[in-house]
A and B are shown apart, each in its own frame.
Chain A
Amino acid sequence: MNLKRILAVTSRESRGMVRDKLFFAMAFIVPSLLILTFGYGLSLDVMHSPIAVLDYDRTPMSRDYLHRFIDSPSFSFQGFLKSERDIYPLLASGKVRAVMIIPEHFQKSLLAGRPTAVQTLIDGTFPFRALTVKGYVIGINNAFNMSEFSRYLSRTAGMSQERALSTLSPIRTEVRCLYNRNLRSDWSIAPRLMMMVMMICPPFLTAMGVVREKETGAIYNIYSSTITRGEYLIGKLAPYVLVSICNMAVLWFIATEVFGAPFRGDRLFFFAASILYVICTTGIGLIVSVMVTTQVAAALVTFIVTVVPTVFYSGMFVPVGSLSQAGRIVARLLPAMYYTNIVTGCFLKGVGFEVLWSDALVLAVYAASLFMIGYSRFHKRPAS
């Protein structure tokens, strides 16, 4: 290892990067832009779901029932339908997400102490959304039933309505949502987005940088020089790691200041673990760049290899424990899951080294082995 040669490659690479002004600017703009758009755009709060109603009853009671839905912030009422034929086009075109059908004799049955049935048709295209809408409907319906039943009891059994109500709901449920008391989706998503963005951008930068030399042939200068491959790789990757560390700091700032996510853990530990992670993802870029020969392939491959596994197999939306057996294995094989543990631990849970040391260790091993593979696959004398 000759430090002078490493520094020469580093300074050459940094100069090349700085001189390509558009590329350089974007190296900094892309991560921030991604976290901002996804942070605002990936809100999974289901609110104001458009709903339409087919009311065959049209009585004060059916209106009272419906108003519990219309006045709720979960739904946005789109109007009454005239016949069942209107339902399909509305649901199929996505103009409404649910249609409620209230039968005839709704009021008559309830007043006579008999059950009645309301049917809800839900657009199941996105099961998550259908499930949430269903949950809202059940909740509102249960509340209505409870008040209706207690009114009925007070009428028939002669107890006060309040007493009936307290007898029917004797247990209070105290739900304490730890780490994210108000269930804010931006709190939970913003730190994880740091993980995702830092999984996409560093490999992209690195792969494009290394493959450009291969595609334009500039790498033959390296092949024919005295520099060793280790020195070349370290010198070449150092500027990209540096840029990514700066980006990491910017992302941290955006997550805490713009999205207001609380940072409760140990800053020093988080910083160290983040550097490890950035080195890891840069290593992925290195592996991609030794595999492909053109920049088009480099761009596409890094994108495909990084995005899907990090979004779906990292615990970003779905905890790793809820994945299928095969999914859990995929998750364990990738660095993203370990860094997700670190990010959520440091941000929301406020735990540090004592809990997360094993995740940090895996990242370190990962980074080292990626560089070993990259080193062994990179040859100064290409096969062909």
Chain B
Amino acid sequence: MTKLARVLLRGMTPLYLRFLVWLRRLRVMTVKELLQFSRDGALILFMVYAFTFDIYLAGSGVKLQLNMASTVIHDNDRSFASRELIDRFRPPVFNVEGSISRADEGTHLLDHGKTMIVLDIPPRFQQSLLSGAPTHVQVRLDASNSVLGMFASSFCRRIVESFGFQTGLKRLGVDPRRLQSGPQVKDSYRVWFNPNQDDRWFMSIAELLNIITLFAILLPACAMVREKERGTVEQLLVTPLTTFQIMFPKVLAMAAVILAGTSISLFGVLRYCFEVPCRGSIILFYAITLLYVFTTAGLGLVISTIARNLGQAGMMAIITYGPMIFLSGAWTPPEAMPRFIRLLMLLSPLHYYIDASYGVLLKGAGLTLLRDSILGMAILGGALFGLGMWRMRRQFQ
């Protein structure tokens, strides 16, 4: 067929027919990707593992709070008052595991990591309290984990403080019951969105989002780079497919796979095992996830235009994945970061996705509240996709 004839033919073909052909090409390519994916048994196995057991592991084991902190008492007083104080170090926060008679035993236990807190009560503790002389207790704690060290330190201070306050009142002859009517501010708390402060909710959702991110970067990038590494991309380029028709089906197929995994995890692990509520619209959550997968796949496509082989692609995926998690604000809130990093966070799609998914699942937020996050993802996604397509075209033409 001469070029002229082809141009004439295209001019005569109705628009809807051309669209049908376009759609069919898209379908064929997507099915090809899905087939290729389904033949990698180990990959599928681990994908299922990632979306189920891995998220279960991440959600179930971790409590970022002081929990049964092993405590050892060095009581030099052995009096009524000292026992009363010790009695206030209770589970679930503390777990008093025994007492020691020499101070250096405590150091030994701490050095060996056998205990976390050593409480030293001085001799004549009760006597000082009764006579109104100032006294002190010493808390030695293993602060090699700074977060738990901080919790332990503030818990211990609070316990001793309130014990001292009550003995002080008693000495003044004030009935502690009268305290209820003294001038004081009673602080009451309501923790919204997660009233029991169930760590499993936060952890399992965070891990699900991380896994989605990992797959959304790696799968499309690898699907593309594999064609380059094996040379099959040359075959694709001589077909009538456009660059978009080559790239987009990969994203489409992987998005389908990822959404399937997300469903398994959402209903099988999050809702079933951890009773994570879904307070907002589940359709909205899926829509946001889909948008996020496309955005992140755009990043994967950009990587695939830079990497020459799969080894490089994998490395580059890690190099982008690490900072993405770090800039997501899940662990470190934006307000605790330096200013320029807060600006960088605006470039991390995960940052928007985390806000939006916690918003939908835990907070029951709707479209109006999440508008900014969705807009941010859409803009980033469009830019990344455009960049990937542009680089791809430049590479092969």
Q: A305 vs B308: C-alpha distance in the bound complex, in angstroms? A: 26
Is the beta-carbon distance between A170 and B128 smaller than 8 angstroms? yes
Q: A29 vs B172: C-alpha distance in the bound complex, in angstroms? A: 66
The one of A129, A295, A355 in contact with B112, judged by C-beta atoms closer than 8 angstroms, is A355
Residue A260 interfacial (CB < 8 Å): no
- Scan B89-128; emit 1 where CB is below 8 A from any A CB, else 0: 0000000000000000000001111001000000000001
Give, as a whole number of angstroms, the nearest-CB distance from B157 to chain A.
Answer: 5
Residue B307 interfacial (CB < 8 Å): yes
Given contacts A170-B128, A318-B63, contact A149 B182 (CB under 8 A): yes
Chain B residue at minimal CB-CB distance from A304? B50
Is the contact region of chain A dominated by helix, strand, or loop, or is it mixed? helix
Which of B146-154, B240-248, B283-291 contacts its partner? B146-154
Chain B residue at minimal CB-CB distance from A128? B64
Residue A137 interfacial (CB < 8 Å): yes
Is the beta-carbon distance between B43 and A41 smaller than 8 angstroms? no
Residue B132 interfacial (CB < 8 Å): yes
The one of B65, B141, B219, B365 in contact with A175, judged by C-beta atoms closer than 8 angstroms, is B141
List residues 171-220 of chain B with CB under 8 A from any CB of chain A.
171-172, 180-195, 197-199, 201-203, 207, 211, 214-215, 218-219
Is the beta-carbon distance between A139 and B167 smaller than 8 angstroms? no
Is the beta-carbon distance between A148 and B168 smaller than 8 angstroms? no
Contacts of A308 in B (CB 8 A): 54, 57-58, 207
Residue B23 interfacial (CB < 8 Å): no
Contacts of A112 in B (CB 8 A): 183
Given contacts A171-B137, A173-B136, A177-B143, contact A212 B311 (CB under 8 A): yes
Give, as a whole number of angstroms, the nearest-CB distance from A25 to chain B.
Answer: 9
Contacts of A297 in B (CB 8 A): 40, 42-43, 46
List residues 149-206 of chain A with CB under 8 A from any CB of chain B.
149, 152-153, 157, 166-181, 183-185, 187-189, 200, 204
The one of B60, B134, B145, B333 in contact with A46, judged by C-beta atoms closer than 8 angstroms, is B333
Is the beta-carbon distance between B61 and A122 smaller than 8 angstroms? no
Interface residue tally on B, bucketed by range: 35 or more
Q: A120 vs B330: C-alpha distance in the bound complex, in angstroms? A: 23
Which of A229-237, A248-256, A309-317 contacts its partner? A309-317
Give, as a whole number of angstroms, the nearest-CB distance from A152 to chain B.
Answer: 5
Chain B residue at minimal CB-CB distance from A303? B214
Chain A residue at minimal CB-CB distance from B221? A296
Is the beta-carbon distance between B207 and A127 smaller than 8 angstroms? no
Contacts of A311 in B (CB 8 A): 58
Is the beta-carbon distance between A26 and B57 smaller than 8 angstroms? no
Is the beta-carbon distance between B188 and A115 smaller than 8 angstroms? no
List residues 1-34 of chain A with CB under 8 A from any CB of chain B.
20, 22-23, 26-27, 29-30, 33-34
The one of A48, A146, A180, A300 in contact with B149, judged by C-beta atoms closer than 8 angstroms, is A180
Interface residue tally on A, bucketed by range: 35 or more
Q: A50 vs B333: C-alpha distance in the bound complex, in angstroms? A: 10
Q: A324 vs B171: C-alpha distance in the bound complex, in angstroms? A: 43
Is the beta-carbon distance between A124 and B191 smaller than 8 angstroms? yes
Contacts of B311 in A (CB 8 A): 20, 23, 208-209, 212, 295
Q: A42 vs B333: C-alpha distance in the bound complex, in angstroms? A: 10
Residue A228 interfacial (CB < 8 Å): no
Residue B156 interfacial (CB < 8 Å): yes
Q: A347 vs B188: C-alpha distance in the bound complex, in angstroms? A: 41
Is the beta-carbon distance between B135 and A296 smaller than 8 angstroms? no
Give, as a whole number of angstroms, the nearest-CB distance from A274 to chain B.
Answer: 18
Contacts of A348 in B (CB 8 A): 144
Give, as a whole number of angstroms, the nearest-CB distance from A38 to chain B.
Answer: 6
Is the beta-carbon distance between B146 and A184 smaller than 8 angstroms? yes
Residue A47 interfacial (CB < 8 Å): yes
Q: A313 vs B207: C-alpha distance in the bound complex, in angstroms? A: 14
Chain B residue at minimal CB-CB distance from A93? B369
Q: A185 vs B327: C-alpha distance in the bound complex, in angstroms? A: 18
Give, as a whole number of angstroms, the nearest-CB distance from A82 to chain B.
Answer: 19
Contacts of B309 in A (CB 8 A): 20, 23, 212
Is the beta-carbon distance between B149 and A183 smaller than 8 angstroms? yes
Q: A34 vs B309: C-alpha distance in the bound complex, in angstroms? A: 22
Chain B residue at minimal CB-CB distance from A164? B172
Q: A171 vs B190: C-alpha distance in the bound complex, in angstroms? A: 31
Chain B residue at minimal CB-CB distance from A35? B322
Is the beta-carbon distance between A296 and B185 smaller than 8 angstroms? no
Given contacts A180-B146, A313-B61, contact A65 B185 (CB under 8 A): yes
Contacts of A188 in B (CB 8 A): 143-147, 149
Give, as a whole number of angstroms, the nearest-CB distance from A55 to chain B.
Answer: 13
12 A-B pairs, CB-CB below 8 angstroms? A20-B312, A46-B336, A92-B369, A127-B199, A128-B199, A128-B202, A139-B158, A168-B169, A175-B157, A188-B149, A312-B61, A355-B111
**What are the nearest 9 A-B pairs in CB distance?**
A41-B326, A124-B194, A177-B143, A327-B61, A127-B197, A124-B191, A128-B64, A172-B136, A299-B314
Q: Tell me the B residues contacting A by CB distance below 8 Å.
A: 40, 42-43, 46-47, 49-50, 54, 57-58, 60-70, 110-113, 116, 128-129, 132-151, 153-154, 156-158, 160-165, 167-169, 171-172, 180-195, 197-199, 201-203, 207, 211, 214-215, 218-219, 222-223, 226, 307-312, 314-319, 322-323, 325-327, 330-333, 335-337, 341, 355, 358-359, 362-365, 369
A sample of 17 more A-B contacts (CB under 8 A), given A41-B337, A112-B183, A134-B191, is: A91-B363, A110-B183, A115-B181, A115-B186, A118-B187, A124-B195, A171-B160, A173-B160, A174-B139, A178-B141, A294-B40, A313-B57, A318-B62, A319-B148, A322-B63, A322-B67, A326-B61
